[in-house]
Amino acid sequence: MAARCTETVLAALGLLSVCAASSSGSGTSGKAGGEAEWAEPWDGAVFRPPAALGAVGVARGLESLPPGSRDTVDLPVLLWWSPGLFPHFPGDSERIECTRGACVASRDRRARADPRTRALLFYGTDFRAADAPLPRLAHQSWALLHEESPLNNFLLSHGPGIRLFNLTATFSRHSDYPLPLQWLPGVAYLRRPAPPLRERAEWRRRGYAPLLYLQSHCDVPGDRDRYVRELMRYIPVDSYGKCLQNRQLPTMRLQDTATATTEDPELLTFLSRYKFHLALENAICNDYMTEKLWRPMHLGAVPVYRGSPSVRDWMPNNHSIILIDDFESPQKLAEFIDFLDKNDEEYMKYLAYKRPGGITNQFLLDSLEHREWGVNDPRLPNYLNGFECFVCDHELARLEAEKAHASSPGDIPVPKPHIAQPSHMNCPMPTPGFGKVEEIPENDSWKEMWLQDYWQGLYQGEALTAMIHNNETEQSKFWDYVHQIFMKRNKNR
């Protein structure tokens, strides 16, 4: 799974060749009401290979420089401990130029013990407490890039896990290098025209349901299939993919789950037939919003959404999605969808953001305008390179503060370490998609898997923290710590 997630990240950044779709229109994040003056370099292809590496300057590989070269000998080193995400191919080390100065980025783990190595960069999906690089060296920061949900690593959803890191880039707006809009390339993506209602009415007459569900990852912390199964009792749902499947996509190529996660033009044309898309994230975390939300909006469908509790903060206006949690039951939700399906005027209110001046959320517009990275924007770095420079600038500033303290220890205090906080992930314990947890049988696969993983993540974070505190380095002792913590907590419950 970790390898596949790494490929997904690289694809999202345009570093792998994947399918792309084009659409008409262009725009930028201007002020609300001023969309007619937009002009942005995005051409409608979301996940296409970008030109070079964005605006981050890359010089030459260290392997091409003589030992002790003045170009690199005094520069801090940033070591990518997750080498699969190293954004400077094909070499193992590169000099990078950032706002405060230069650093050396490397994926050569032999550099870990080098006193010049000031930061280790981890990809959260690959990070495992039992394999953490110990002993942790006092002069090194740990930096976390984790744009994914707890599905990939529950360790990071707990205080002891996230506080292992000094710097973070996550989906949370509260992280040090926030990535909440990682799946939204720009305002133009939202303004793509929706298919005419008469076309969708014709598709309905051919036997299509009003509501689409497309999922092939079936057992997830958000427990979405349980809710959809109940909803199907009250309204027709066309379910493609492997989860609750009752219909087949029209071609074998579209049935490939790899195609279903891309912006394939044939797939998008097919999906745009539906007026409503069930958009349920794989886990519930503040600011965690993926293509499941943004793609229906791109296509002019109304997302029926469950995911980020803070999703309203990011919507183009206050009337653009249907929130599942606003309804007391799946039956009530089904009745509301049926009402909108039969009332074109009410339905079209949910697509008002596609008209000029329809995007009224200034917070969304400002967030898109001022973020430090871009999605296929040649003016900006992708978020891999951007986070790398963010860490570089932090380490250069930390070095300056340390030198200032050393030169005047009586007047200038030792710089305090920056520590990540639980708000940088903000993912609570999983809850059932429908019903109460005590009503679910003990042998239920969701209950057995995700509730156990949630607590296991806490134990592992506490165990690694204990190992670091006690200066333990033997990995074989890690699971002994986990067992001790588990037994102690169970005894106190």
Distance CA 365, CA 299 (A): 20
Do the beta carbons of residue 154 and residue 285 sit within 8 Å? no
Query: What pLDDT score was predicted for residue 21?
Result: 33
Confidence at 263, pLDDT banded by 50, 70, 90:
confident
Could you identify the residue written with the tokens 């903060």? Answer: 313
Q: Do 242 and 94 have their domain in common?
A: no
Query: What pLDDT score was predicted for residue 5?
Result: 54
| Structural domain ending residue among the three candidates 335, 368, 401 | 368
Q: Do 307 and 404 have their domain in common?
A: no
Distance CA 434, CA 215 (A): 18
Confidence at 456, pLDDT banded by 50, 70, 90:
very high
Nearest to 273 by CA among 299, 252, 251: 299
Query: What pLDDT score was predicted for residue 7?
Result: 52
Residue 28 lies in a domain: no
Residue 46 lies in a domain: no
Q: Do 175 and 197 have their domain in common?
A: no
Residue 377 lies in a domain: no
Q: Do 83 and 168 have their domain in common?
A: yes
Confidence at 52, pLDDT banded by 50, 70, 90:
very low
Nearest to 63 by CA among 110, 26, 16, 102: 110
Contacts of 366 (CB under 8 A, 6+ apart): 29
Parent domain of 119: 77-179+384-491
The total number of structural domains that make up the chain: 2
Q: What is the mean pLDDT of residues 447-474?
A: 94
| Structural domain ending residue among the three candidates 334, 368, 402 | 368
Contacts of 335 (CB under 8 A, 6+ apart): 234
Q: Do 175 and 196 have their domain in common?
A: no
Q: Do 406 and 364 have their domain in common?
A: no
Residue 52 lies in a domain: no
83: buried, middle or exposed (CB in 10 Å: 19+, 13-18, 0-12)? middle
163-195: b (≥16 Cβ within 10 Å) or e: ebbbbbbbbbbbbbbbbbbbbbbbbbbbbbebb
Residue 49 lies in a domain: no
Q: Do 92 and 139 have their domain in common?
A: yes
Q: Do 127 and 240 have their domain in common?
A: no
| Structural domain ending residue among the three candidates 368, 393, 414 | 368
Confidence at 19, pLDDT banded by 50, 70, 90:
very low
Q: Are strands 102-106 and 93-97 parallel, antiparallel or unpaired?
A: antiparallel
Structure tokens of 351? 């697509």
* Predicted confidence (pLDDT) at residue 231 exceeds the cutoff of 50: yes
Please state, for a pLDDT cut of 90, what percent of the chain lies above it: 75
Q: Do 343 and 248 have their domain in common?
A: yes
Question: Residue 217's Cα: distance from chain center in Å?
Answer: 16
Residue 117 lies in a domain: yes
Residue 20 lies in a domain: no
Do the beta carbons of residue 419 and residue 175 sit within 8 Å? no
Q: Do 175 and 191 have their domain in common?
A: no
* Predicted confidence (pLDDT) at residue 15 exceeds the cutoff of 80: no
Q: Do 208 and 277 have their domain in common?
A: yes
Query: What pLDDT score was predicted for residue 493?
Result: 58
DSSP classification of residue 431 = -
Query: What pLDDT score was predicted for residue 35?
Result: 37
Distance CA 236, CA 212 (A): 9
Do the beta carbons of residue 388 and residue 120 sit within 8 Å? no
Query: What pLDDT score was predicted for residue 224?
Result: 97
Average pLDDT, the chain: 86
Q: Could you report the per-residue pLDDT of 174-208, keeping only the tens digit for each?
A: 999 999 999 999 999 999 999 999 999 999 999 99
Query: What pLDDT score was predicted for residue 330?
Result: 98
Structure tokens of 276? 């409503």
CATH number at residue 252: 3.40.50.11660
pTM for this prediction: 0.86
Q: What is the mean pLDDT of residues 117-145?
A: 96
Residue 10 lies in a domain: no
Q: Do 321 and 398 have their domain in common?
A: no
| Higher-confidence position of 128 and 62 | 128
* Predicted confidence (pLDDT) at residue 365 exceeds the cutoff of 90: yes
